[in-house]
Amino acid sequence: MRDYDYAAYLLQQSAEKAIKAVILKKIPTISGKEIKTHNIRLLLRILERNGVQIPGSISRAVDLTRYAFEVRYPDDYRPVSEEEYEEAYEIAIRVYEWAKGMVEGQP
């Protein structure tokens, strides 16, 4: 169907949840309320403030944050192109693989 808007939204959600899993694994004292945000930049900052190194390729995940809002709120709506979707896909896959390694104890 080529619904790049919805696909990009789901990619953002997957990256967000993967990063939150790392936070909960690496910072056991943190509460779910403290990470109640869709802003990937803020989530990565939480990790950095707690001594977790964020690889440069994972830092690119901040680019996905816009898909959490733009697709859902029509005031700021701009259709997602196939190229943007493909880039978002690559970023989300990298975040997932990194997060999986972090959660399973493989830095």
pLDDT tens-place string over residues 60-80 = 999 999 998 766 666 667 788
**Which residues of the chain fall below pLDDT 70?**
1, 70-76, 106-107
Which pLDDT belongs to residue 68? 87
Q: What is the pTM of this model?
A: 0.90
Q: Provide the domain count of the chain.
A: 1
Phi/psi zone of residue 30: left (φ > 0), alpha (ψ -120 to 50 degrees), beta? beta
Which pLDDT belongs to residue 1? 56
Give the CATH number, domain containing residue 18. Answer: 1.20.120
Domain extent at residue 8: 4-103
Q: What angle do CA 53, 99, 82 make, to 5 degrees?
A: 105
Which pLDDT belongs to residue 75? 67
Distance (Å, whole) CA 73 – CA 34? 24
Which pLDDT belongs to residue 71? 61
